[in-house]
Amino acid sequence: MTTIFRRLRHFLGRSHHDADLREEIEAHRAMRQNAFERDGLAPEDAAHASRRLLGSVALAIDDAHDVWTIRMIDSVSHDIRAALRGLRKSPGFALVAIATLALGIGANTALFSIFSGLILGVLIVPVPAGVPHPSATAPSSRHSRRSAPSPVQCRSSGSL
């Protein structure tokens, strides 16, 4: 449970964590560059070698996000922000989309209300005691509506 809270806390304070992570990666790169310079490399070559050794900063941040956040929440939040940006850029399309959804939901509700009142309301059984119920005990008639006996039952009764 604490893992979920930690991941949600990271998700809400993402920009702060990103800045801390970039700073930490840059500190490791600088330490590696200093080590290369002590070994005799020129400063430009040492900087290039340290970047090549540590790899992509963006990839490291993405890997850290995979560990620190719940990926689905992160993905959904990106999708919602992208959708809102798209709707903000074209308000006419947004109006048509919202109106279409409203009409569709309203029509569906109205049709179900009519169907429920006309069809489902008629299906009420006037005498509930007359409705047949499946039971565990079968009638003694030979032609009862039962499933075929299992092989174990056949063996025990000697009819196999």
Contact yes or no for 50/29 (Cβ under 8 A) = yes
Altogether, the residues listed in the chain come to a count of: 160
Please check whether residue 2 lies inside any domain of the structure: yes
Examine the domain organization and report whether 53 and 88 are in the same domain: no
- CA nearest neighbour of 30 among 141, 16, 10, 38: 38
Examine the domain organization and report whether 7 and 52 are in the same domain: yes
pLDDT, tens digit only, all 160 positions of the chain: 566 665 555 555 566 677 788 888 888 888 988 998 999 889 898 888 888 888 777 777 777 777 766 667 777 888 898 988 988 899 898 899 899 999 999 999 999 999 888 877 666 677 777 777 666 555 555 555 566 777 777 677 766 5
Examine the domain organization and report whether 24 and 58 are in the same domain: yes
Examine the domain organization and report whether 38 and 77 are in the same domain: no
Looking at the 3D structure of the chain, how many domains does it have? 2
Please check whether residue 146 lies inside any domain of the structure: no
Q: Which domain holds residue 94?
A: 71-119
What pLDDT, on a 0 to 100 scale, did the predictor assign at position 105?
97
Examine the domain organization and report whether 15 and 57 are in the same domain: yes
Predicted TM-score (pTM) of the model is 0.36
